[in-house]
């Protein structure tokens, strides 16, 4: 008998624990978009209040460090969410842990099939967790620049020698924060390399 006051019919329909392993696994949880931090904090508080710390390990918001530049060209390193609207939780699935997560405000559901949470593939875990917690020795070599443009986008130059001219993005260099734009100069298509903060979408 479960401690939660749920009817037997609901338990059979909803309970994810039939045949579930007792060990911990990584699971993906769908949550309200743009509320990742507050929902993670609320979940951690609920776990502590319920005394279920032994059923939970880490709860991650997968992020990566990217470089951004201010209007004056100052370089900053910021965290960008890899999967907005999702959390990763290392946990043991039981009725108690499952209902605690599901009843946290802003939580949608676990990813899985047939209403049963499906553990993440070990390969995906390795890839995502490693990106969320990069090795210190890798340093800034792997950092990319957050550039909101893609090949083929129409843009306008807002600063510099080609100010107010429009063109098409040919290449995006995230490593160096630069964008190559094809601009028509004196009737000829000319590739011009610009800092990404010097252009804007048309």
Quick check: 100 pLDDT over 60?
A: yes
- Angle CA 98–128–135, to nearest 5: 125
pLDDT, tens digit (0-9, with 9 covering 90-100), for 158-170:
888 888 889 999 9
**Mean per-residue pLDDT, 179-189:** 87
Q: Domain segments of the chain: what residues?
A: 21-144, 147-201
Strand partners, 185: 188
**Mean per-residue pLDDT, 61-85:** 77
pLDDT, tens digit (0-9, with 9 covering 90-100), for 104-121:
999 998 887 766 788 988
201 CA to centre of own chain = 24
161 CA to centre of own chain = 37
Token code pair at residue 116? 């049963």
Q: What is the pLDDT of residue 5?
A: 43
Of the options 2.120.10.60, 3.30.1360.120, 2.30.30.30, 3.40.640.10, the CATH number for the domain spanning 147-201 = 2.30.30.30
* 21-144 homologous superfamily: NusG, N-terminal domain (3.30.70.940)
pTM value is 0.58
Bridge pairing between strands 56-60 and 63-69: unpaired
């Amino acid at each position: 008998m479960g401690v939660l006051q749920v009817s037997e019919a609901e338990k059979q329909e909803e309970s994810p624990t039939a045949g579930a392993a007792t060990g911990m696994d990584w699971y993906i949880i769908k949550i309200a978009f743009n509320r990742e931090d507050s929902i993670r904090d609320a979940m951690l508080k609920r776990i502590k209040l319920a005394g279920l710390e032994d059923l939970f390990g880490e709860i991650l918001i997968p992020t990566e460090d990217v470089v951004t530049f201010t209007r004056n060209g100052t370089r900053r390193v910021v965290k960008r969410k890899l999967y907005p609207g999702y959390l990763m939780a290392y946990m043991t699935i039981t009725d108690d842990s499952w209902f605690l997560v599901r009843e946290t405000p802003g939580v949608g559901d676990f990813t899985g099939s047939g209403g049963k949470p499906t553990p993440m593939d070990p390969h995906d875990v390795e890839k995502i967790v490693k990106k969320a917690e990069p090795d210190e020795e890798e340093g800034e070599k792997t950092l990319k620049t957050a550039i909101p443009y893609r090949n083929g986008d129409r843009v306008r130059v807002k600063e510099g020698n080609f100010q107010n001219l429009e063109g098409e993005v040919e290449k995006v260099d995230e490593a160096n924060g630069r964008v190559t734009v094809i601009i028509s100069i004196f009737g000829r298509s000319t590739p011009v390399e610009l800092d990404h903060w010097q252009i804007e979408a048309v």
